[in-house]
Every structure is written in structure tokens, then in C-alpha cells.
A and B are shown apart, each in its own frame.
Chain A
């Protein structure tokens, strides 16, 4: 019998706000433990929460990007459970009246075809602290506690690990395009849990649902789901039942382990948060947020292909990071050769950023600078080889390419008088190659051309130098 998987994803996204969800503490990542804390986010006796309006805006923006209905009236609820990473032992969340209802995310599969994945809801809550385990004791770092956290729940529309991968990629691109979150999974800015069941193809009812936690990368999600499909399918084939439970993915072991069974499921005893007023979202606020709507990644990808004549692949790479795409657009704006700029961004720029372990937003090279560099090459003022050196200088010094070329004296030599002298020097110094060429070995000219470039320290215009060389050899 053939089986198919039914997958739904719950994605938690840390919102990119200056301060926490219910207090004024900074949301900065990587600070010394327990330095971004106050009585409110530590859950001290007597404190009260105050809602971060920017987090509400970012959630509304997300809703607009994924085509949700924005609730006119939503509210806060307390989700009760005890754990040391929970300062109050309840989390302020949204239970039955979330800010965003319904929506879709379009995913693009390997073959190029697209599918629409339904969104059930998106709501806002506060993140918990981080438990750190030492040899015999444990510590809690409350810096993360209270960071605005948005939960986006998908419909059970995904049918394979690849679709789940494509969904997370698409969602991440959308969130980054709206500057809602940086979505850095390594920093825990984007986290994902999955519900997965398996059923015989053709069966309408869902199989027993298993929740999987602790998948820390998008590819980890793909691996975990692939494992789980195989595990559940094997069980069904053997005539066993899949039991409804929560399992933990162990990436190193490459398998999932039971965390808790249905009988031990939490009763969260949700009830309306009496310390906060309901959130009433007026048309004005929605209109105000709507003005911030960015172009969605899929639309942008198609536009890049059309407007800049880029291959689909290039457009995909650039648009995957909204900030990179914006950088590209600023560089390519009005440029003669947008494809060449794309090449520079995708190879040299991404390479350098990777080496320097930094991001495009902290890139020392300005888009205008890159455009100028490509112009210098295209107009034969410098060679492509020198171009790479200029690029490296720009990355460290932040100077403009023309300044660097001038200071270093790297201007390409196209002056025939100067080049003729170098050509003659090369001919005089390499009689064997000259003889080879004259004897009919056409390839020998490349060696001579290389000698001219060497003598010019790379500054000779290779095309002009080649023409002079050919003329002199044929004389």
C-alpha cells in the first residue's frame, strides 16, 4: 500500500523590535546573561505588563503579507504551566482571538511549479528564558524572556519534507522582506515545530498526529520529517498503530524520541489576561501598516527576471535575502550591465560577506560603489582582474573604486604608444614563442599576451595589447 504524509508547521518568529513585548528591556542577542532584565520580565511580585505596539504592527504587517484577515478585536490570554524558563509560570499569549486569521503562503518546488499553503492563524506572545545546564546545576538566562514572539500556524497542507522545506524558505523570505524578523535560526529567531501523520493514499481521514520538536535548522526539519514518515509508515505496514504523542528530534542520532504521550499532555488552563486591555485594531492602523507593505519575494523574483534580464536562478538567489535584493536594485538602478552586477553580488560580495561573517546590512561596500566598479570594467578603464583587487580594497577601506584606482595607479593602459613599447619588449624577450607563432602555433600568442600583461603589472588593456601584438607579429 502507498502512504502519504500530512504535515502542518508551527513557526515561532522573534520580532525585530527594540524592546521586549511587555517591558522596556532591550531585545539584543548575545549579551552577558541576565543583563537585559527588569522586575517585569523577571516576573517580580507586583509588576504589570505594558503592550509593545511595534510588535502588534509587525504582526499585522505579517498578516497583510500572507493575506490574513486582521482581527478588529483580539485579546491576550494566560497560558499556564510551570517551567523555570517562565518567569511568571504563565505565558501571555493569544488563545481564541488571534491578531491574524487565515492566509496563504505560496511555495516554489524544485521543478519550478508553485503551490499555495494555507495559514490557520498568526498570533503574538512573549518568548521564554533560556535554561543553561552545568555539570550539577542549571542556570536561567532571562535576557530572552519577554522577547516578542509571533506564532504562525499552517494548515495541514504540506505533503512532503521537501514541501515543508520550501514552505519555511518562502515564509522566511516573506518575513525578512517586511523586516519583521531577521529569521536567524542559529540565534533562535525562527523556530519550528511540526505536526505530522501518515495515511494510505486515497484515505480522507488523517492518521494519528505526532508533534515533533527541537528541529533547529530548515534542513533539520526536512531530515526529521523524512525520518518520521519512514518510521510511521513502517509501523502502519507492520499493522501497528501510531500513537498520538510529542517526539523530540535528535539531529546527531538522526531519529526522533518520545517526549511525552497523550496522557501527559498539558492542560494550559487558558483564560483572558486581566492585566491587559483587549487589542482593538482600527482601519486607520491597518491602513498605516499597509503603507509599509513590501513587494513580496515571489513578485520581486519575477520582476527581476523581466526588468534586469536575469536568469531565474540569479533572481532567486538575490531575492532570498530581501536586504541583498535591495542592495542589488540600488546598484543595478540605471546600470548598463545589470547581469554583471548580479554576478559580482552573487560571487564576490556573498563570498566576502561569508568570510567576514557579516551581513549585507553591515557591508562596507555601498551599492553605488559596486555599480561604479562594474562601469570601470565595462568601459575598459580597468581590467576584470584589477577589478577584483579594487573590490577587495573597497571591502576593507570603504573608499570609492575610482579613488582606489587613482591612488594605486591601476588605471588600465589603453594608450597605444605605451603598449607598443611593452609589446616590443615582450617580443624581444621571447624569441622562441615568436618563432612558434610564426611557424603556425596560434596558441603561442597567448603566452606573449600574458608577458605583456605581466610587464604592465596587469594594467594593460588586454584587448588593445592583443591587437598590437598581432599586428607586430604579422609584420
Chain B
């Protein structure tokens, strides 16, 4: 049996017993990537020598055999999280050739836990997109159907894990960028509550919405990753100081008596019938395992997408201002400094990034601020209150992760609004600051494509969504299915 197909738990068991080394685990992935990444194009950058050198150091130190949570486990990193000495281009031409000068907080955590930092995965440029088609370096393909998109923006990370090119990967989620590609690629993806994981070292898209989170093959692996990633960081003022629970320990407590909320606004007309059937099937399964179902209401759901595209773009217009060719990244010279800015940014940013910068700049402009940005902030408060009220009636909320399965490459590329609606079920969690996890709950018949179940939880209650996900996963076989590549 090839090592690359293992889960983190299975790999750690082998490493602990000395049945394999970190070098062998890393080599197995490198071989797998060599074999299939020409088709998937999940990775943007890989340095086999460096990865093997890290693995060797871990083998020599004995970390792979001791109790470290990720000792000897190679992890893939989305191209917008800084790893010192590695490129960090956010799949954008404007950061072409840029090398990180420092480690993100989560990268320090991964290093401390003994992980091998394997390579950089593809994404929509600056995390702006839902299909990974907005990458400046080409499209990543869905492992279940190479004609289809893997979702986005963390499409490279999702495809790498689903295609057995990584045991786990880091992504970032601003409006669904972890959960939606996890759903479309058939793996597990978790967006932590806002403030649970430090953003220090994550290149910002929308600061008040962004969170780093893991992609894994199972919910138990996801819990393990969260033990490593979560925690307070004094370099991120928005990171919360609350202690991190042992997410693994809580997994096996079952769902008996747990109240599952179903928002009536989410089960809408026009949803893919197979998606709806799969999610309803998952709800029944959890009921049969002892959970109770309550109908809830999230009355401001209709406004979520509009609110999101005002707040996220407004913040992005400022966050992306630093890419000006003065200090790092690509520069196109000009007549004077203003001309240089225009030419550098004109050549460096792709069309979707430009669209969002312009939209955000407009929303913040004198005379429009009150009508757009300020009003969006007020509605955001209402959306957060919707969740607060809902969580008085239930412990978790269940929804489809995405209203549909993976679509064809190019299908929505010319219609940004249609693309924006891909995130309709995921955006609320970012606006509300709550946590959410997506896990496989079925497949469409033809073509056979994965369907994702989203479990949303209260702020800082990752324990409960992981428990629900794990209980469901233990009762089903979906997570064991692998694409043929």
C-alpha cells in the first residue's frame, strides 16, 4: 500500500512504530505529485530537495517517532501564507518572484509540531474567486472530473488533499474559500471562528472575514490539525486569548440529544436536487444517531452576498494598496511615481482583482460610504444577530456547503454575479464570525461528483461541529471514496 493514500492518523501510527520514515512519506507524495499533478495542477511551487531535507532533519531528530502531533507529516500550503524562504505570490503576477522573509504564525506552529512544509498550492489570485480559475498561473482541475473546477479560492489545497498529493493542506476562508472547494473535491475543510487562528502571515484579502483553516481526508485529521493551528497570538490583535480545547478528545461523544438547526431560508428552490437529497439524507442519518432537528430562521440571509461583496471589497481595496512596486514584487517603470503605480498595478493584477478593488474603492468613496459600506456594516450586525438567536434554539446548523456540485471550467467565468452566488451558503459564517466545517455526504450519479455537508457552530465551538462531523463520518463511507486518477 502506498503511503500517500494514508490519513494523518494512519501515517503517524506508521511513523511512530518506525514502519516508515518522514523521508519515505515525503518521497511518496513527491512521486504521486510527479505522476498526476500534470493533470491536476494543484501545486504552484515545489522544492523536492528542500522538502526531503526537512524530512531528513525530522527523521534524524527522532521527532517523527515521538509524540509530536504532526512529526514527519508533509503539509501543503496555500500560496498566500508566508513560509520564510519560500515564494509567496498569492497566484498573482504582481508578487512574481517574491520570497517570504518571515514565517506566518501557523507555519511556526506547523514547524513546532514537526510537519514538513511541502509546497505551495494554487488559488484564485489573492483568494478572489470560487473556482481557482482566477489564478495567474493556470487552472487547477477537479480530481473527480478533470473538465471541472475544484472550487475556490483554495482549489489547489482541496485538489491536492482529495488527489492524495498531500496528507493535509492549509487554506484560507473569507467567504467559503475552504469549505466550498472541500465540498467540490470531496474532502474535509474547516473554517475556524474569527480570531481562533492567528492571521499573522496570511496575506490579507478581507481582514475582518479571513481565517486560515485545514483541509484533510477525515474529520479526525481535521481535529488534529486544529489542535496545532488554534491559539492566541499577540501579533494578531484580533486573535482571541481563550484556551484551545483538545479537539480530538471530544470527537467520540456522539450526537445524542444534540439540536440540529435547519435554516428554512437555505433550503431554497433552484437548489440542485441531488445536493438537497444528499443533505436531507445526512440529516436523517444524524437523527437516527440521536440528534434532534429544529427548524430555525436566518431572516437576513438574502442580504449576505451583497453585504459580503461591499465589506470584503472595501477592505481589499486598502489591503491590496501595498502592492505598488516600491518595496517588493514586480515593478513596471513609468514616467513618474504615479505612472509607475498605474503600470505596475495594471500589469500585475488580474481582471477579478481589479474589479474588486474598484468596487471596494467606490463603496468607501465620499458620498457613497454611508449608502454602501456603512449600511453593509449595519446589515452585517443583523446577520450576526440572526446566528446568535438561532444558536439559542440549536447547537449546530446544517446546510449544503454549496448549492451545486463542481461546475465545468469556464462555465461561469464570464458571469461574476453567478460565480458570487456559489458562496451563498458559506458567506454567512464569515460575516457572523462563527465556525463551519464541510465534509462529504454523497455523490451525484452521473457524472459522479462529491457533495458537501456544512456544519456551522457557535463562535469558538469548533469542538461541537467536529463531533457532529466525526459522528456522521463514522456512520458513513463517503470519506473513503477516492477519485481515479
Contact = CB atoms under 8 A, between A and B. Distances in A.
24 contacts: A42-B327, A44-B102, A45-B82, A45-B95, A46-B81, A46-B104, A48-B199, A48-B200, A48-B237, A80-B364, A82-B341, A87-B327, A90-B318, A90-B321, A138-B337, A269-B364, A269-B366, A271-B314, A271-B364, A274-B238, A275-B204, A275-B207, A275-B237, A276-B238
B237 A51 contact: yes
Interface residues of A, number: 30
B251 interface: no
Residues of B in contact with A, size category: 35 or more
B444 interface: no
B294 interface: no
B377 to A, nearest CB: 8
A45 B322 contact: yes
B98 interface: yes
Best-surrounded residue of A45, A47, A51 (most CB of chain B within 10 A): A45
Interface in A378-433: none
Interface in B311-344: 314-315, 317-318, 321-324, 326-328, 337-338, 341
Nearest to B323: A45
B318 A78 contact: yes
B368 to A, nearest CB: 10
Contacts of B207: 274-275
A280 interface: no
A374 B272 CA distance: 96
* For the complex of A and B, 9 pairs with smallest distance between CB atoms: A89-B321, A274-B207, A269-B364, A274-B208, A45-B203, A46-B203, A46-B201, A43-B322, A88-B322
A319 to B, nearest CB: 40
Contacts of A269: 317-318, 361, 364-366, 369
Interface in B359-406: 361, 364-366, 369, 373
Contacts of A274: 206-208, 238, 315
A274 B174 CA distance: 14
A39 interface: yes
A49 B81 contact: no
B341 A44 contact: no
Contacts of B365: 267, 269
B333 to A, nearest CB: 11
Given A269-B361, A269-B364, A50 B341 contact: no
A271 B369 contact: yes
B236 interface: yes
Given A44-B328, A50-B237, 4 more contacts: A46-B82, A47-B201, A80-B317, A269-B365
Contacts, number: 97
Interface in B121-163: none
Contacts of B80: 45-46
Interface in A42-73: 42-51
A218 interface: no
B271 interface: no
A90 B207 CA distance: 14
A269 B90 CA distance: 25
B235 interface: yes
B199 to A, nearest CB: 6
Contacts of A78: 318
Interface string A60-104: 000000000000000000101011100111100000000000000
A271 B322 contact: no
A80 B316 CA distance: 12
